[in-house]
Chains A and B, each alone.
Chain A
Amino acid sequence: MMPAYYLEAAVVILGLVLMVMEAFVEKADKSLIAKMGIVGLLVVLVSLFFVSGPAEGDDAPIWSFYAVDPMALFYKGFALVTTILVLIMSLDYRSVLQHYMGADQEKPGAGIGEFHYLPLFTCAGLMWMASAKDIVSIFVALELVTISFYVLVAFMRRNVGSLEAGVKYLILGALSTGFFVYGLTWLFGLSGETELSKIAAALGNDDSAMVRYPKALLFSLAMILVGLGFKIAAVPFQIWVPDVYQGAPTPITAFLSVGSKAAGFVVGYRIMEPFFANHVAPQLVTLILAISGATILLGNLAAVAQENFKRLLAYSSISHAGFLLLALGCSSSTTSPVNVEGVMALYLGGYLAMTLVAFHVMCLVRAQLGSEDLSAYKGLSKRSPFLAGVLLVAMISLAGVPFTAGFIGKMYVFLMALQSRYFVIIALAVVGVGAGFYYYLKVVRAMYWDDAADDQSVQISTLSKVAMLTMVALIVILGIYPTPILNLFAA
């Protein structure tokens, strides 16, 4: 057994080693960097099962801002799996990157080494964020994630779309961080503590400024929600999402839509949790539910009209953020045997699998057919039955067909919302799900019913095949047997 923070240290050291290696070994094939990263992260993923929290009586300072609980461990694993898959995708995406980095005949792959190891730093940040339980360490981890994302989003520097996405993400990301930190400073000012558990403890004290000035507390929480709203792409802070998702390199889009979102929800849950059992709970829940309803509706309805697969998934990502927010909003009132953490973990786990499969297929299609429009997917079943098959599973799961992870996640969210009697939001969500069926199955129709323009086939490496099959298996298994994740969080 080893202390849990060794994992983050290991990931950072791995990243640093690869960084220096990439800089000093100019001749080496850059895909080696990604492969070493994958292997290293797999080792870390395995060692995730052998970590421990603070021993009895161990009061080293680190444990005051570093949590080791099921939630932390689950999202650490989540971050690792996401990063591994993103690295595999980035291998498939190399030809596109190379095209936009200006191919140099003498140094093949010059300038794309960074693309393969920067995700490791993001991963370390995500892992740290899963454990952060102090507003300072939350902020530092969040910055580690966003700063490496700024670089990665704008990575294809000869592609105008990528640069545009980079600038938009940078400006809005910095703005949202500003809101977030502003909210945190108010929270700190009201409670006088940076540690979340101490803030929660201070809530019970009637003399605390948090209790005496509920409006100030609500203001602080609203600012935090605004900041996190940008990260998880909730309405009305979703404006950047379609453009940034479309412009960024596809593996990074996948990373953004899964990693960044999960991190936002973990942080949001950790910060908000104590306030759901408090005097500000009614207003807080109303706010979250309002955002949630708007997000579900707008995400789903706007997705209907999309002709570009990446934009479609961007809006789909917005709509899923709405469902997750709905789950968060049920925190104060649910009485079901499953708890909110469990449902969020289940939903995000399923979301990880289906989104990453969809983006992986998109990587391959973009690299080999040169387009991200839905028209490129016409007749995909002829070009590659395998790709069409896995994408079919991902799409029906995203839509929420029974026996898939997407269905189970949505089902639990609806169940909790029913118990909490949020009937208006449920009505909106039903409309959203209905629209979802239309646009997700539009992709399926293109793949199986339309004819391809030519008969070019799509090559898939064994590594990618294994990765996609694993995710498809995950979708199906979670769809039939979600108990392990729910048990993990059962008190």
Chain B
Amino acid sequence: MLALTRKKGESLVINNNIEITILEIRGDQIKIGISAPKDVPIYRKEVYDQIQEENQIALQADNMKALKDLL
């Protein structure tokens, strides 16, 4: 992972069209501003991880016999 040090008010530019700015630093919380094209999905990682896990469980379809028996 690339690690860069930034101060409040400083930014990063990714791929010519995404800009990430450190807006505010307060204790262990950092407020980040993101300017990106609107068709770029931006999600909180913990929500993304939950959806990934749910997709993983759904894809395995381990207990499909039970579902078939139910139908």
Are A and B subunits of one complex?
no
Spell out A's residues near B (CB within 8 Å): none
Spell out B's residues near A (CB within 8 Å): none
